[in-house]
Structure 1
Amino acid sequence: MIHLETQSIQEGEVNNLVQDVPGQFFNMGRTIYLRFQEKLSGQDAAMVTFKINGNGEVQLTRQAGQMRSRMFFIANRKIEARYQTPYGMLPLETVTPKMSVSVSEHPDSGQISIDYELLSNGRKLGQYKIRLHFTA
């Protein structure tokens, strides 16, 4: 089971979303994968995958129809991201000022907390927060 809380702030507008969804958990060596469907009102469901590396780096992939994004999060780093639209690739960057990842065994469970900014061509598009708790 996955408990997901997200917050986005874009142009002064705040959006909060809380979801409890079933998901899949895979452990391959020191890498953990979480996969689930995110349901947004008025939109197609998106397939979401979190990849958590053994060193604490996180990759987030979302795909809904022809839209696909891949973002990378490392604390205190700016990293290129990819956002594929039907009209082509949109260059993005993530800046992650605050992030923590905690994973436990027996039972497999964990928490991911990421605060990040999304940039396009040096312009800030918004501020975002992800709070994810999972239990396998």
Structure 2
Amino acid sequence: MKKQEKRHVRILFQTKIDRHGEIEDYEFTTKGELYHKGTQDYLRFQEVLSDQENVQTTLKWDGRELVLIRQGDVLMRQSFLRGIQTSGRYVTPQISWESVATTESVIVRWPQGNQKGVIHLRYHFSLQGQDTGIHDVRLTLEEE
């Protein structure tokens, strides 16, 4: 992504979690900002978890590593590097757990003109040593 002003995007966020054959789907749409700072690209958007729970989510991309940063009612920091196991942290007002992600794939393609962008992430995830399954996350980005 070229260095430029913040770009406003519409985001379709889709997650599918496979827990040993039991599938859980989660989807929402939101608006966000896409911008470049230093040597990294950023996508920032708001997640509404419930009527009273909101999380500011930032995805940071340097061309190799994707870092997920969540701030608000849930705090989380997790990096994703293809083929590598990474440690992170997941915190709510009630708990603080260590997280581990083993990333199978990371694809980042920013929107260009009329072409939609995509962030596709597939990883095996565990919280506090407990397997939470294989997570398949796809964000479809469209400039406003």
Same fold (TM over 0.5): yes
Which deviates the most, 126-135 or 10-19? Answer: 10-19
> Partner residue of 2:96?
89
Q: CA deviation at 1:125?
A: 2.2
Contact 1:72 1:80 survives alignment (8 Å): yes
> Partner residue of 1:115?
122
* Selected match of 1:20 from 23, 26, 29: 29
Q: Provide the rounded CA distance (Å) in 2 between the counterparts of 1:61 and 1:14.
A: 25
Instruction: Tell me the alpha carbon deviations over residues 62-120 of structure 1, each in whole angstroms, 9 at most, x when there is no partner.
Output: 2342x301111111110011112335531111101122222354579631111111124
Which deviates the most, 121-130 or 93-102? Answer: 121-130
* Selected match of 2:106 from 85, 99, 107: 99
Q: Describe the shift of the 1:39–1:86 C-alpha distance in structure 2 as closer, same or farther (beyond 3 A).
A: closer
Which deviates the most, 92-101 or 81-90? Answer: 81-90
Q: Describe the shift of the 1:16–1:41 C-alpha distance in structure 2 as closer, same or farther (beyond 3 A).
A: farther
Q: Provide the rounded CA distance (Å) in 2 between the counterparts of 1:14 and 1:41.
A: 22
> Partner residue of 1:63?
71
* Match runs of 1:42-53 below 5 Å: 44-53=53-62
Q: Which amino acid aligns with 1:24?
A: E
TM-score scaled by length of structure 2: 0.77
TM-score scaled by length of structure 1: 0.81
* Selected match of 2:84 from 58, 71, 77: 77
Percent sequence identity is 27
Contact 1:56 1:101 survives alignment (8 Å): no
> Partner residue of 1:3?
12
Q: CA RMSD in A?
A: 2.5
> Which SS does the other structure have where 1:134 is aligned?
strand
Q: CA deviation at 1:122?
A: 4.4
Q: Provide the rounded CA distance (Å) in 2 between the counterparts of 1:90 and 1:117.
A: 16
- Unpaired stretches in structure 1, ≥5 consecutive residues: none
Q: Which amino acid aligns with 2:71?
A: Q
- Unpaired stretches in structure 2, ≥5 consecutive residues: 1-9
Q: Describe the shift of the 1:56–1:111 C-alpha distance in structure 2 as closer, same or farther (beyond 3 A).
A: farther
